[in-house]
Amino acid sequence: MMIESNNPASNGSPDNEDSSPLRAWLAVSSVTIGAFAFVTTEFLPVGLLPQIAHDLGVTPGTAGLMVTTPGVIAAISAPGMMLGAGRIDRRYILIALTVMLLASNLISAFAPTFVWMLLGRALLGASLGGFWTLALAAAGRLVKPHESARATAAILAGVTCATVIGVPLGTLISELASWRASFIATGVLVAAALIAQTALVPSLPSSVALRFSDLVELVRRAHPRRSLLMVALVFGAHFSSYTYIAPFLLRDAGFGAPSITWVLLGFGIIGFASNFAVSTVVGRNLKGALLTMVVLLLTALVTMPLLKHSAFAVTAMVMAWGVAFGAIPLCMSVWIQRATPDLPEAGSAMFVAIIQVAIAVGSLVGGTIVDRAGISRDFWFGAVLAILGIVAISRLSATGTEANVAELSERVGAE
């Protein structure tokens, strides 16, 4: 999620302490609805995977491509969108990305074959990376500077609510009607966001653009590079396994479909609470908070296959997993901000790209393991990635300022 250094579009005296007009906050709300819809669409297949796989005649592992495909494309579109956008008005780009999301949901809802489903998911990926590159930047520019933090929090609330409400609600709609109805319902939500954005989001001209040289400079530095590797390992650990949590609960743990819906809802609710709880300590002990959460993730991944015959134990471990992943994105985001203090735009773009690569590769490798060796082995593969992530965190500093200064000094001296 990239933040551009442009002046707010909604006010002429950015430094006064007056509140932003209602229309500005309604514009922020329209972007928040878009964030909710994007995240719900991205992870909707997680709760619907068994039904979609059955109806479209593919294995659960192959069905995991519904998560892999948008991840691959979003990883490219995250930095690519800003490199190619130049100074195009961000309002038009935001609306175009929402139109693409609507098309993705409709194609997925009426897909006659799995190939058509992947086409719809590919369209999601193309819009997803660009949306996260622009969403927080737009939020900060829609209101006055002293309220930008509240606007940013509102956008992130849409993400959290999608985890808590969107994905479980999609699963519930699937149980009451069909998985196609879940995509149609999400499409209706996207249409509402599109109408609101068209009516409320003002012009957002851009005076700066991300340069390719910024990305090159970032990956040349040891600390940011290792931090991004750590992000890839931890997110890979999560998504290589979480993509197949519904088949695990259904086939390995013997849960019924209604129970799966409630368990996933619990995962989201406890993750929501964890996000806010950890936000109070992450500034004081970032490394400790992140290590604790990844160790909790590791515990869940190792324990669930071993205790799969105990519904209580499995449910408890899913809740522990929810606590872990409710906080991990927040910790990682703060970590990358600290690792790239002088290149925030490049750091944010690469952060989004690396997460999407982890989602894509993790779900792809996980799907291969599921089809060839079973879901339990896939969870243990995720545990191995989590262990590597713990090792990477342990060897890194929670701030890259000193490391970056030292590297820059060495280069200046060499020149």
Tens digit of pLDDT for each residue in 59-73? 888 888 898 888 889
Q: Which fold has domain 212-415?
A: Growth Hormone; Chain: A; (1.20.1250)
Global model pTM greater than 0.75: no
Distance CA 122, CA 76 (A): 12
Distance CA 387, CA 319 (A): 20
Q: What are the boundaries of each domain within the chain?
A: 21-210, 212-415
* Amino acid 408: pLDDT: 46
pLDDT of 306 over the 60 cut: yes
Residues 6+ apart with CB under 8 A from 93: 81, 85, 130, 134
Q: Which string of b and e fits 360-372 if b means at least 16 CB within 10 Å?
A: bbbbbbbbbbbbe
SS in 3 state form for the chain?
CCCCCCCCCCCCCCCCCCCCCHHHHHHHHHHHHHHHHHHHHHHHHHHHHHHHHHHHCCCHHHHCHHHHHHHHHHHHHHHHHHHHHCCCCHHHHHHHHHHHHHHHHHHHHCCCCHHHHHHHHHHHHHHHHHHHHHHHHHHHHHCCHHHHHHHHHHHHHHHHHHHHHHHHHHHHHHHHCCHHHHHHHHHHHHHHHHHHHHHHCCCCCCCCCCCHHHHHHHHHCHHHHHHHHHHHHHHHHHHHHHCCHHHHHHHHCCCCHHHHHHHHHHHHHHHHHHHHHHHCCCCCCHHHHHHHHHHHHHHHHHHHHHCCCCHHHHHHHHHHHHHHHHHHHHHHHHHHHHHCCCCHHHHHHHHHHHHHHHHHHHHHHHHHHHHHHCHHHHHHHHHHHHHHHHHHHHCCCCCCHHHHHHHHHHHHHHC
Question: Given this structure, which CATH class describes domain 21-210?
Answer: mainly alpha
* Amino acid 42: pLDDT: 86
Poorest-confidence range of 172-181, 206-215, 235-244?
A: 206-215
Mean pLDDT of 295-303: 96
Q: Is pLDDT larger for residue 199 or for residue 168?
A: 199
pLDDT of 411 over the 50 cut: no
Taking CB atoms within 8 Å and a gap of at least 24, the contacts of 153-158 are: 154/28, 154/29, 154/32, 155/28, 155/31, 155/32, 155/35, 156/35, 157/32, 158/31, 158/32, 158/33, 158/34, 158/35, 158/36, 158/39
Domain 212-415 in the same topology as domain 21-210:
yes
Tokens matching residue 288: 């400790």
* Amino acid 97: pLDDT: 94
Q: Which amino acid is at 349?
A: A
Residue pair 90/204 in contact by the 8 Å Cβ criterion: yes
| Cα dihedral: 41, 125, 61, 162 (round 10) | -20
pLDDT of 238 over the 50 cut: yes
* Amino acid 89: pLDDT: 81
How many CA atoms does the CB half-sphere of 161 hold within 13 Å? 13
pLDDT of 236 over the 90 cut: yes
Mean pLDDT of 30-43: 90
Most confident of 41-50, 81-90, 99-108: 99-108
Residue 275's nearest CA partner among 285, 289, 262, 263 is 289
Mean pLDDT of 154-179: 79
Dmax of the chain from CA atoms? 67
Tokens matching residue 95: 């609306």
Residues in the chain: 415
Share of the chain above pLDDT 90, in %: 38
What Cα–Cα distance (Å) separates residue 359 from each residue in 129, 340, 355?
12, 22, 6
Distance CA 79, CA 130 (A): 8
Mean pLDDT of 43-63: 88
What Cα–Cα distance (Å) separates residue 137 from each residue in 1, 83, 131, 413?
8, 15, 10, 36
The per-residue pLDDT of the chain, averaged, comes to 83
